[in-house]
Chain A
Amino acid sequence: MNFERYRKAIWTYKQPLTCHPDTRSAISDLFLWRKDKSWSTTFELMNLSAIINGTIEEDASVQMLFFDENGIKRGEETFNLCGTIRRRIELNQYIDEDAGSVGTFAVFHNNVPDQITTSGSYLAERGYTSYHFSNAPVESYVHGNLDAVSQGPGGIPIYLESSSFLPRQYCLQYQFNPDSRNEIALVNPTSRQHEITLKYLSSKTGNILGKSRHTLPSGGCVLEKINQKISESYRLVINSRLVMARPLIFSGNSHYMDVFHG
């Protein structure tokens, strides 16, 4: 085994991005919800079983779990997709009033087609969340990208991302415009609390222009409104022991915010 493979093995050995679940339950991303006077969140719920089977008439049920920013469960709903392949779920009505303005949620499909099991796979909800800001006539969509959570006995969430042995840097390949209103959100799909540091570096010089530290609870999230006094283009480096600390970026102005994955 050559040196390069040994070197990378330190970062990959027993540290998969997604662990195999112990149960055959469906898997979900750990999505972010936002709810306050400016923000509302909608989830595009699609009947995945019907999509696999090529039918629009198939009934299905889906369970959604809602957590606050500390990863504490704050609600649970079951949605039926009876003879329908798509429902838009406006989350604001299902999240407790006192759950705060940001949190996470997971979506578990109860109907798992046989094809999934016989292929040795798991049904994964990595669908689309839309965020509606202020009075904008247009919603901004973002897709899920992690296989973050499965359901254990009694419906308890089991977080599937492993933690890194060594400190990692996620170097966001995106240049922030200092004239835009910029916000970063991170979720923690591991079973442990993590300390994270966000460093803002000058795009020109690489110098550190700002820094912040957060404690990210298991199943929870952090939302940082970047109000560092930065007057030049900058980029973000996230230090943590998450295997992949991929953030959600909100960027825009006073009347509209675009949302996308970093």
Chain B
Amino acid sequence: MHNYAPNNWEHRKGVSRHILALWVENNEWQIKTLGIIQNGESRSFDQRITEQLSSGDSLVFLTLCSHPVEGSFDILPQISSPSSIMPAWRATLALASSESTTSYQGEVDPFPEKASLLSFVPFFQPGEDLTNYFMLLNMEKKAKYRESTVDVIDISSMTILQTANIKSNSLNICKLGNFQIDKETLLVCRSEGMTGVPLYFTHDIDHKYLSLEHTHPPASIAVLGRRWEIQKTIKTNWAKKLP
């Protein structure tokens, strides 16, 4: 996490902020202030924070805030986190093995409950010694866990290759099968009951080579104008087509 603005104009001056940890426990958002991060400072956390705060049961989210927050909430309260547009205020997320690291600039804002996922996936890397994962990062305002399913579909044969259960306010990890598909086959991940950030992770048998990327919403293929209408069109058209 980085407590310095990503440009020299959207924030007039740097300030120290509080690091908040958020996780779901007993159907409530638990929020704890971990400490202060000074202006210009960066701080790293690893998976041990999950073990320390939520006994490893829940995903822990971290954010910066102008003031400390402590308590339990059934709905996520408004948090005064720093933001910017050009570019957005980022955090770096990484998966690491003893040999390698793969990163992406990853943040998440709460998703609406009434939402669906349609992710066109060119990242499946077939190979005997490669393992592929689909991961869905979801966060919603309501703490209470919801469940849904996601299908992994080969759209050339319109076949559902795999179905997995997913849960809100979680990082859902789905190990993909060793699909015998052509390298140019396009897969689609589809959920009608939940959305999130769809992440795709590949590693070799020795965890020496790691690859991580996420897909963008369908609206990303349109720019300017009423691009969210395009997203609605894409989702509607594929809802009629997919099994």
Residues of A in contact with B (beta carbons under 8 Å apart): 4, 7-8, 11, 17-18, 20, 27, 44, 46, 48, 51-56, 84-88, 115-116, 119-128, 136-143, 147, 166, 168-175, 203, 206, 235, 243-244, 246, 251-253, 255-256, 258, 260-262
* Inter-subunit contact B213/A123 (CB<8 Å): no
Which residues, 105 to 128 on B, are CB-close (under 8 Å) to A?
A: 105, 120, 122-123, 125, 127
A251-B103 in contact given A173-B90, A235-B42 (Cβ < 8 Å)? yes
Question: Is B173 interfacial (CB-CB < 8 Å)?
Answer: no
Q: Please report the C-alpha to C-alpha distance between residue A139 and residue B202 in the assembled complex, in whole angstroms.
A: 9
CA distance A171 to B42 in the complex (A): 12
- Do the beta carbons of B213 and A52 come within 8 Å of each other? no
Neighbouring A residues of B8 by C-beta, 8 Å: 168-169, 171
Q: B10, B91, B105: which has the most chain A beta carbons within 10 Å?
A: B105
Q: Do A140 and B221 touch across chains, with their CB atoms under 8 A apart?
A: no
Q: Is the CB of B7 within 8 A of A170?
A: yes
Partner-A contacts on B (CB < 8 A): 2, 4-10, 12, 40, 42, 44, 86-87, 89-92, 100-105, 120, 122-123, 125, 127, 129-130, 155-156, 183-186, 202-204, 208-216, 218, 220-227, 229-230, 233-234, 236-238, 240-241
- Closest beta carbon of chain A to B197's beta carbon, Å: 12
Partner of B87, one of A55, A119, A244, A252: A244
**Chain B neighbourhood of A235, CB < 8 A:** 42
Complex Cα spacing A7 to B8, Å: 12
> Do B216 and A126 have beta carbons less than 8 Å apart?
yes
Q: Which residues of B contact A115 (CB under 8 A)?
A: 229-230, 233
Chain B, residue nearest A116 (CB) = B222
Within 8 Å by CB of A255, from B40, B208, B221, lies B208
